[in-house]
Structure 1
Amino acid sequence: MLDNNLKTQLKAYLERLTRPIQLVASLDDCDKAKEMQTLLNEIAELSDKISLSENNDPAVRKPSFAITSPGHDISLSFAGIPMGHEFTSLVLALLQAGGHPPKVDADVIEQIKNLDGDFLFETYISLTCQNCPEVVQSLNLMAVLNPRIKSVTIDGALFQQEVEQRQIMAVPTIYLNGQVFGQGRMSVEEILAKLDTGSVQRSAEKLDAKAPYDVLIVGGGPAGSAAAIYAARKGIRTGIVAERFGGQVLDTMSIENFVSVTETEGPKFAVALEQHVKAYDVDITNLQRAEKLTQQDGMTSIQLASGATLKAKAVILATGARWREVNVPGEKEYRNHGVAYCPHCDGPLFKGKRVAVIGGGNSGVEAAIDLAGIVSHVTLIEFAAELRADAVLQKKLHSLPNVTVITQAQTTEIHGDGQKVNGISYKDRVTEAVKHVELEGVFVQIGLVPNTEWLKGTLELSRHGEIIVDAKGQTSLPGVFAAGDVTTVPYKQIVIAVGEGAKAALGAFDHLIRS
């Protein structure tokens, strides 16, 4: 199972174990059970602190294995072979069960230990899912720290009957005590916030007590991170408040166009952003949504959904934008599994495949043109009777031999096989007939929605809801700047957002020294 390179790396990690751990296998006669047995034997051979035993309990999923430590009540198991993206989850589970301290804040550890209740988490994952590991690692950590928490990670491909019975169409899907708890990427802090209902009030009280900042950044994506770094480097009191640190980058499968980084994945890029910000004296507040902006006596206040209020002499708004959705069955289920929103980022992943583009405006036609040079065939679907893109773009589109344009078409459903997209259905708005197209990918290009609903009536927005900014990132309010996808700056790209974040921070600093 493990090549020599992986064995060498894993052996080095296992030297950090401070107490014995036990692997308990529950196996049957299938081929995957034999692979699991091989993997467990190889792991056990790498450390004298690891022992291996078997469990013949018929009630336990097979094949699966548990990781525990003698004398410690740990209930953590994998119903599947944790390779691919989940290999890191396996390594961390071994280390944490073996006493190696986790890299999380002390207050998070204390919050996990103090959870009151019995929690059985069952997490259905795919070994190719990039969003699953964070959920698995968070729940495994909780199972190590709190004996009343049980975590089971289930490979959906290996337990198809369960997947069908529970009608699971997206990963990760988390069940808590037999009921759906959540879907999609979740950090340990997000999980705790859902479990510990009193944490919101405690957090609000702490936030209210914070002293005003020189610069407060609202948003933790590329623009917000760059702004925080540039502000902190000026030696001023800097804070950042974000609903989800990393922002939309967390949902991006592959990044291949950020200058100097040949290739990376969105979650890895988001982690790098956060680590870079933490290298400076920046006060980070995560999992907090901004709801209101007010100004008084030269100070700007940001009221949060938790009820807390943060104040600053200057504020940088970097709340980003979200892709406008078509809101049809299958869209959410297959996001990042065939449903994509960024042709620049994800287009190369569909080389040689058939894709559809939903949307006939400039962005949709540009996407179709770009994709036509990569994929085998593009089907562009437009709701209206005519494309809305500029004439020059339409001329180029119609010149391409591998593009089919369908107008007067209403997308009704995106189809898949449980793992990835395999087709799309649309209704002909003239004949009312429902038609089906077989393909491997769907790019939704019906525009972006800036996250500015909470700012309406406060500062000047464009007709599209974007924050209007000048060359220095200044908004219509003194001392309030903005950067990234939430603004009127064209071309919504990570590299542009980073530059705009830096510019807004410099603009805010210039405002502070002049006022």
Structure 2
Amino acid sequence: MLDAALKTQLKAYLEKVTHPIELVASLDDGAKSQELDALLRDIAGLSDKVTCSRADDDARRPSFAIRRAGTDIEVRFAGLPMGHEFTSLVLALLQVGGHPPKLSDEIVAQIRAIEGEFQFETYFSLSCQNCPDTVQALNAISVINPRIRHVSIDGALFQDEVEARQIMSVPTVLLNGEPFDQGRMTVEQILAKIDTGAAARAAEQIKAKDAFDVLVIGGGPAGAAAAVYAARKGIRTGVAAERFGGQVLDTMAIENFISVPYTEGPKLAAALEQHVREYDVDVMNLQRATALVPATEPGGLIEVRLAGADGEPGPSLKSRSVVLSTGARWRQMGVPGEDQYRNKGVAYCPHCDGPLFKGKRVAVIGGGNSGVEAAIDLAGIVAHVTLIEFDAKLRADEVLQRKLRSLPNVEVIVSAQTTEVLGDGQKVSGLSYKDRDSGDLNRLELEGVFVQIGLLPNTEWLKGTLELSPRGEIVIDERGQTSVPGVFAAGDATTVPYKQIVIAMGAGSTAALSAFDHLIRSSAPVESAATQALTEAAVA
């Protein structure tokens, strides 16, 4: 099942196992069970601390438990955790085997203190780059606190179960049989939902923080670069982000990042956060900015207000300068039915959710590179793809269009305006569109709609505070300066042309250097070691 190179790597990892672990399988006579049996035997053969047995004690087959011998510590997988989930398998082996998860002592103590019984189920697909984070987070939590159980389920392998539970997006997490959440989740996000006092404790910690010299809002490529460049100046730097990595976390393949021929979004996002944390940067995750209050006098403090729990006002952060790098999100169609059937047939990530539509009919909305690439990927999974483009022609690169036209199960409709997503109350059943040439209304019968129509800047919270373009982008100059003194911006949320990762990183670096220059030239009195470092740097 595993090739020689992979076995060599896995054997080295398993040397970190300190407690004996058991791989307990539930199998049937199918081909996938045979593959799983071979995989588990391969793993057991690589370490004398790993044993393999068959119990057939789980109704889901093929499935298996990774159990710490003589304890109730275990995690379960239903299916073969290969593809993107192979890393989840390796981490589960190590953590059940006694190797500690990479979590702070504070987080570990919080997990151990949670009371009650929790049974989590996560549906994933092997092609989903978002799923491993959720799977790994819940696995780590369940290893630390055995009262919290977790099983990860390959939705493509258990189609009947997916249909019965109407799972139409991954990752989808159930808690005690009821919907818990959808989409990528970190340990901190999960704890915020099951530990009712977490949000209040985090708010109190934020209230107690001193003012920053540079406060970065957003943790994508632009924000990470800004934080690194600011921290290297020896000044007090903070980052407040809803999720570190931003839109990169939702990016499957990255092939134009200079010097790196190929990488994937989650891998790059993890590297960005690791790099930032190597410096003295206060990283505050799960924080959404809601308002920006400019300084009332030159050199004064700028205030950024954060969202609180349940829609209530949250705490505030203050800083002598601010770098806004809030990025962008998928643009919605804004038609009836889109919100109602989100994650019930309306999807935005073909790589993640495509396997759930195997053998079905889907539509892709958008004829740019993203839309055509999505149609090409989906054509290899689903029965039929209809690509709908508003313009009179596709806008994707010609090489992609040629590939698209070569596929037998793809239809392209141009000059078409999607008017409504249709459904039966539970899931998508079709969509309607208007022929922009004739004005005729048409209906397509299908089970899924993948929206790929570009990005929308995350700047609504800034309206009326600083200058925005007609598209809602933050207007900046060549130094990243906004219309508000001391406030700089970078990345996809700004008017910088060409929304690319490498461009965002350069813009973030520029914004941080500009913020540093602003601090040097400001008339604020020197009050801390950080501001003294500014003076010394200026002299140097």
Q: Decide: shared fold, TM above 0.5.
A: yes
1:376 to 388, 405, 409: 405
- From the superposition, tell whether residues 439 and 367 of structure 1 become closer, same or farther in structure 2 (CA, over 3 Å): farther
Q: How far apart in 2 are the matches of 1:313 and 1:77?
A: 49
Q: How far apart in 1 are the matches of 2:248 and 2:325?
A: 13
Q: What are the equivalent positions in structure 2 for 1:114-153 lying under 5 Å apart? A: 114-153=113-152
SS at match of 2:320: strand
Name the amino acid aligned to 1:434.
Answer: N
**Alignment match, 1:495:** 502
2:471 to 446, 458, 464: 464
Name the amino acid aligned to 1:235.
Answer: G
**Alignment match, 1:382:** none
Q: In the alignment, is the contact (CA less than 8 A) between 1:323 and 1:341 conserved in 2?
A: no
Name the amino acid aligned to 2:24.
Answer: V
SS at match of 1:210: coil
* 1:409 lines up with 2:417 in the alignment: yes
Q: What are the equivalent positions in structure 2 for 1:99-498 lying under 5 Å apart? A: 99-294=98-293, 295-297=295-297, 298-306=300-308, 307-327=314-334, 328=338, 329=341, 330-332=345-347, 335-336=350-351, 337=353, 343=368, 356=387, 358-360=389-391, 366-367=395-396, 371-376=400-405, 406-407=414-415, 409-413=417-421, 426-428=433-435, 432-436=440-444, 444-445=452-453, 448-498=455-505
SS at match of 1:463: coil
Consecutive unaligned residues of structure 2, counting only runs of 5 or more, are 309-313, 355-363, 380-384, 523-540
* 1:13 lines up with 2:13 in the alignment: yes
TM-score of the superposed pair, with normalisation by structure 1: 0.86
- From the superposition, tell whether residues 84 and 406 of structure 1 become closer, same or farther in structure 2 (CA, over 3 Å): closer
Q: In the alignment, is the contact (CA less than 8 A) between 1:469 and 1:476 conserved in 2?
A: yes
Deviation string, structure 1 residues 278-315 (Cα, Å, up to 9, x no partner): 22221111110011111345100111113121111100
SS at match of 2:346: coil
Q: In the alignment, is the contact (CA less than 8 A) between 1:356 and 1:443 conserved in 2?
A: no
Q: In the alignment, is the contact (CA less than 8 A) between 1:239 and 1:282 conserved in 2?
A: yes
Identity of aligned residues (%): 57
Q: What are the equivalent positions in structure 2 for 1:58-77 lying under 5 Å apart? A: 60-77=59-76
Q: How far apart in 2 are the matches of 1:311 and 1:117?
A: 38
- From the superposition, tell whether residues 441 and 159 of structure 1 become closer, same or farther in structure 2 (CA, over 3 Å): closer
Q: In the alignment, is the contact (CA less than 8 A) between 2:350 and 2:374 conserved in 1?
A: no
**Alignment match, 1:389:** none
Q: How far apart in 2 are the matches of 1:273 and 1:481?
A: 20
Name the amino acid aligned to 2:511.
Answer: A
Q: In the alignment, is the contact (CA less than 8 A) between 1:350 and 1:374 conserved in 2?
A: no
- From the superposition, tell whether residues 348 and 156 of structure 1 become closer, same or farther in structure 2 (CA, over 3 Å): closer
- From the superposition, tell whether residues 340 and 128 of structure 1 become closer, same or farther in structure 2 (CA, over 3 Å): farther
Q: In the alignment, is the contact (CA less than 8 A) between 2:241 and 2:286 conserved in 1?
A: yes
Deviation string, structure 1 residues 254-300 (Cα, Å, up to 9, x no partner): 11122222111111111111112122221111110011111345100
Q: How far apart in 2 are the matches of 1:439 and 1:182?
A: 22
Q: How many Å apart are 1:373 and its aligned residue? A: 4.9
Q: How many Å apart are 1:374 and its aligned residue? A: 4.7
Q: In the alignment, is the contact (CA less than 8 A) between 2:367 and 2:394 conserved in 1?
A: no
SS at match of 1:29: coil
Q: How many Å apart are 1:61 and its aligned residue? A: 2.2
**Alignment match, 1:34:** 34
Q: How far apart in 1 are the matches of 2:434 and 2:390?
A: 15
Q: How many Å apart are 1:62 and its aligned residue? A: 2.2
> How many residues end up aligned between the 2 structures?
483
Q: How far apart in 2 are the matches of 1:319 and 1:334?
A: 20
- From the superposition, tell whether residues 47 and 470 of structure 1 become closer, same or farther in structure 2 (CA, over 3 Å): same
Deviation string, structure 1 residues 87-128 (Cα, Å, up to 9, x no partner): 111111111011011112221111111112111011111122
Q: In the alignment, is the contact (CA less than 8 A) between 1:355 and 1:375 conserved in 2?
A: no
Q: How many Å apart are 1:357 and its aligned residue? A: 5.2
SS at match of 1:89: helix
Q: In the alignment, is the contact (CA less than 8 A) between 1:318 and 1:483 conserved in 2?
A: yes
Name the amino acid aligned to 2:414.
Answer: I
- From the superposition, tell whether residues 414 and 231 of structure 1 become closer, same or farther in structure 2 (CA, over 3 Å): farther
Q: How many Å apart are 1:161 and its aligned residue? A: 1.4
SS at match of 1:322: strand
TM-score of the superposed pair, with normalisation by structure 2: 0.82
Q: How far apart in 1 are the matches of 2:266 and 2:370?
A: 14
Consecutive unaligned residues of structure 1, counting only runs of 5 or more, are 379-401, 416-420
Q: How many Å apart are 1:202 and its aligned residue? A: 0.2
Name the amino acid aligned to 2:155.
Answer: G
Q: How far apart in 1 are the matches of 2:411 and 2:44?
A: 55
Q: Out of 427-436 and 204-213, give the one that drifted further.
A: 427-436
Name the amino acid aligned to 2:34.
Answer: K
Deviation string, structure 1 residues 39-67 (Cα, Å, up to 9, x no partner): 2122112111112233243x642221111
SS at match of 1:157: coil
**Alignment match, 1:391:** none
Q: How many Å apart are 1:152 and its aligned residue? A: 0.6
SS at match of 1:283: strand
Q: How many Å apart are 1:248 and its aligned residue? A: 0.8
Q: How far apart in 2 are the matches of 1:340 and 1:15?
A: 49
Q: How many Å apart are 1:454 and its aligned residue? A: 1.1
SS at match of 2:263: coil
CA RMSD of aligned residues (A): 3.0
Q: How far apart in 2 are the matches of 1:263 and 1:438?
A: 34
- From the superposition, tell whether residues 55 and 403 of structure 1 become closer, same or farther in structure 2 (CA, over 3 Å): closer
**Alignment match, 1:392:** none
Q: How far apart in 2 are the matches of 1:331 and 1:377?
A: 26
Name the amino acid aligned to 1:41.
Answer: R
- From the superposition, tell whether residues 248 and 309 of structure 1 become closer, same or farther in structure 2 (CA, over 3 Å): same
Q: In the alignment, is the contact (CA less than 8 A) between 1:343 and 1:371 conserved in 2?
A: no
Name the amino acid aligned to 2:457.
Answer: P
Name the amino acid aligned to 1:409.
Answer: Q
Q: How far apart in 2 are the matches of 1:257 and 1:368?
A: 15
Q: How far apart in 1 are the matches of 2:480 and 2:257?
A: 22
Q: How many Å apart are 1:359 and its aligned residue? A: 3.8
Q: In the alignment, is the contact (CA less than 8 A) between 1:290 and 1:304 conserved in 2?
A: yes
